[in-house]
């Protein structure tokens, strides 16, 4: 199995070839003992040694299998039958050995294998067969961002102790294998950014131990989730689902509402239709992202009852309508609310205890909201981003209101029916927040705002203010 070091993982003056042989012993033409390696190379070897776990009842000879070139650089490691009981927990230790050309891990009982960021170039199913043959007791298989471009072979079925399968950021170009369901112990499956295509095998949701499922950024992965089995609600450990940037369609299945342990749900950038489902059963939910789908209808506040841990809600770029769900503004942990590019209308209800809220991002732009602008938008003292453009808010905003948001970096109020009163004295506005972006297009400014001390501003639009 040939592996090339990733350019972005460690910065070196030159890019060196790097190979790993899992189950064969390579012929080494130049063999020097460990003592003849350079001092920095010996230090790196000791770091690698410390990252491995050995059978404590058996003596090991890691430094006996070292191969160096004439310049003293480590070029080979033979760890065959070294009784390694746990895998390489820190792949950066391997990457630091920039001249390494071969590594033999055969005949060990290693349980965790982390090779993330190392570029693997193989043909066919060689990498699967090599790992399955050499490390039959493997529990964690993590080879993300390794430029794999070959299929996932059924030889992996020999690894019946697998708990985690992390193959993201590769170019697998395959249909998701159905044989994954045979791994009856695994709890994490990550195949993000792997050029998967075709329908996703729904039988994977029958694996009772499943905790994390990440299929994100596979735009050719498609199908409807409507036929997900009712048994998905029995997945008591399922806590993270990321299906973002795929091509799934149809309605979001009702069975999702029963996932009581759900912490993270990202279904953004798909083609889901229908209405939003209640998620109040997921009391531990911290993140929900439904951005850029074709969802419609109201968003009832009752759908979010009791979600005291919710920190991020992203419903933008859909066709939701009705009133904005007022209850979400009072969630004690909520930091980001993004509802832009929808059809929300009417007035926005007042917020209670905004000064105590951790909210740092509020984006209600490009909706049909109306009514007098109120000070409650400016009560969230931790706001970094406040975007209200392209609505029908009316009334007058005093610059002193903006002054109270000392953490504010981006403010968009354009294209409403607003007026900005900038008549306050410059001394009174001396502590105006240091904005980076300010858009007050068509806000009836009668006086240029006090921006002379705005050293961080890089985008300013005050056009059509007359």
pLDDT in tens, 177-219: 888 888 878 899 999 999 999 888 878 877 888 999 999 999 9
Please tell me which residue, 55 or 24, carries the higher pLDDT value. 55
pLDDT above 70: percentage of residues in the chain: 79
Most confident of the ranges 5-9, 26-30, 121-125: 121-125
pLDDT of res. 229: 58
Q: DSSP assignment of 122-166, as one string?
A: --TTHHHHHHHHH-TT--EEE-TTS---S---GGGGG-TT--EEE
Mean pLDDT of 419-442: 78
Q: What is the pLDDT of residue 385?
A: 97
Tens of pLDDT, residues 262-294: 999 999 999 999 999 898 889 999 999 999 999
- Residue 450: pLDDT band by 50, 70, 90 thresholds? confident
Top pLDDT among 45 and 273 is at 273
Which of helix, strand or coil describes residue 385? strand
Q: Which of 102-106, 125-129, 295-299, 346-350 has the lowest mean pLDDT?
A: 102-106
In this structure, what token pair is assigned to residue 22? 């899992």
pLDDT interval class at 431 (50, 70, 90)? confident
What pLDDT sits at residue 57?
Answer: 58
Higher pLDDT, 84 or 408: 408
- The pair of three-digit structure tokens given for residue 171, joined into one six-digit string: 């170019």
Residue 19's pLDDT is 40
Q: What is the pLDDT of residues 135-181, one digit of tens each?
A: 888 889 998 988 888 778 888 999 988 999 999 999 888 888 888 88
Percent of the chain, pLDDT > 90? 35
- Give residue 181's pLDDT: 82
pLDDT confidence of residue 17: 31
SS3 label, residue 466: coil
The residue whose two tokens read 């975007």 is: 387
pLDDT of residue 216: 96
Query: What ranges do the domains of the chain cover?
Result: 110-461
Q: Which residue has the higher pLDDT, 226 or 384?
A: 384
Interval 107-114 mean pLDDT: 74
Cα separation values, 230 from 234, 235, 250, 427, Å: 8, 10, 17, 64
Residue 416: pLDDT above 90? yes
**Higher pLDDT, residue 196 or 116:** 196
**Average pLDDT of the segment spanning 122-146:** 81
What pLDDT is recorded for position 317?
A: 98
Q: In this model, does residue 132 exceed pLDDT 50?
A: yes
Average pLDDT, whole number, for the chain?
81
Of 70-79, 324-333, 418-427, 454-463, minimum mean pLDDT range: 418-427
Residue 97 has pLDDT above 70, yes or no: yes
- Give the DSSP H/E element, type plus range, for residue 113: strand 112-114
Which superfamily is assigned to 110-461 in CATH? Ribonuclease Inhibitor (3.80.10.10)
> Is pLDDT of 7 > 80?
no
Residues 6+ apart with CB under 8 A from 330: 351, 352, 353, 357
Q: How many CA atoms lie within 13 A of 454 on its CB side?
A: 22
Segment 301-339, tens digit of pLDDT: 889 888 999 999 999 999 999 999 888 888 899 999 999
How far, in Å, CA of 239 to CA of 261, rounded?
5
**What pLDDT does residue 11 have?**
32
Is residue 452 pLDDT above 80, yes or no? no
Quote the pLDDT of residue 116.
82
Whole-angstrom Cα distance, residue 433 to residue 423?
17
pLDDT at 398 over 90: no
Residue 22's pLDDT band (boundaries 50, 70, 90)?
very low
Residue 445 has pLDDT above 90, yes or no: no
Average pLDDT over residues 402-412: 92
Please give the pLDDT value at position 383: 95
Of 388, 385, 428, 424, nearest to 407 (Cα)?
385
pTM value is: 0.83
- What phi, psi does 403 have (nearest 5°)? -60, -30
The 10 Å CB-count burial string (b at 16+, else e) for 322-338 is ebbbebbbebeebbbbb
């Amino acid at each position: 199995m040939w592996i090339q070091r990733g350019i972005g993982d460690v910065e070196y003056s030159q890019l060196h070839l790097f190979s790993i042989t899992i189950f064969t012993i390579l012929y080494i033409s130049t063999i020097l003992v460990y003592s003849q390696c350079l001092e920095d190379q010996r230090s790196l070897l000791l770091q690698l040694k410390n990252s491995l776990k050995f059978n404590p009842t058996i003596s090991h000879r890691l430094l006996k299998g070292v191969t160096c070139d004439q310049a003293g650089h480590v070029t080979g490691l033979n760890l065959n039958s070294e009784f390694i009981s746990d895998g390489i927990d820190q792949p950066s230790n391997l990457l630091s050995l920039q001249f390494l050309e071969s590594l033999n891990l055969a005949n060990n009982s290693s349980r965790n294998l982390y090779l993330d960021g190392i570029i693997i170039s193989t043909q066919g199913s060689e990498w699967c067969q090599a790992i399955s043959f050499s490390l039959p007791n493997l529990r964690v298989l993590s080879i993300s961002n390794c430029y794999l471009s070959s299929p996932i072979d059924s030889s992996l079925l020999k690894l019946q102790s697998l708990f985690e399968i992390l193959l993201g950021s590769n170019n697998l170009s395959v249909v998701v294998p159905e044989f994954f369901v045979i791994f009856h112990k695994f709890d994490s499956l990550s195949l993000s950014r792997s050029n998967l295509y075709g329908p996703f095998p729904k039988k994977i949701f029958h694996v009772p131990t499943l905790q994390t499922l990440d299929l994100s950024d596979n735009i050719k992965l498609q199908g409807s989730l409507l036929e997900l089995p009712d048994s998905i609600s029995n997945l008591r450990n399922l806590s993270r689902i990321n299906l973002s940037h795929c091509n799934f369609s149809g309605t979001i299945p009702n069975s999702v509402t029963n996932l009581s342990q759900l912490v993270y749900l990202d279904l953004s950038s798909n083609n889901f239709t229908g209405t939003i489902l209640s998620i109040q059963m997921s009391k531990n939910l911290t993140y929900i992202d439904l951005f850029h789908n074709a969802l419609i209808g109201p968003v009832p506040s009752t759908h979010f009852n009791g979600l005291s841990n919710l920190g991020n809600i992203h419903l933008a770029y859909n066709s939701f309508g009705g009133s904005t769900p007022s209850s979400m503004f009072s969630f004690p942990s909520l930091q980001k609310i993004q509802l832009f590019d929808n059809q929300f209308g009417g007035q926005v209800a007042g917020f209670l205890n905004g000064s105590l809220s951790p909210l740092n991002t509020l984006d209600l732009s490009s909706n049909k909201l109306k009514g007098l602008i109120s000070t409650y938008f400016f009560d969230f003292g931790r706001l970094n981003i406040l975007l209200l453009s392209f609505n029908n808010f009316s009334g007058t905003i005093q610059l002193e209101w903006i002054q109270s948001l000392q953490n504010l970096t981006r403010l968009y109020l354009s294209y409403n029916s607003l007026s900005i009163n900038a008549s306050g004295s410059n001394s009174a506005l001396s502590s105006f927040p240091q904005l980076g972006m300010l858009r007050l297009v068509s806000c009836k400014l009668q006086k240029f705002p006090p921006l002379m001390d705005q050293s961080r501003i890089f985008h300013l639009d005050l056009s059509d203010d007359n």
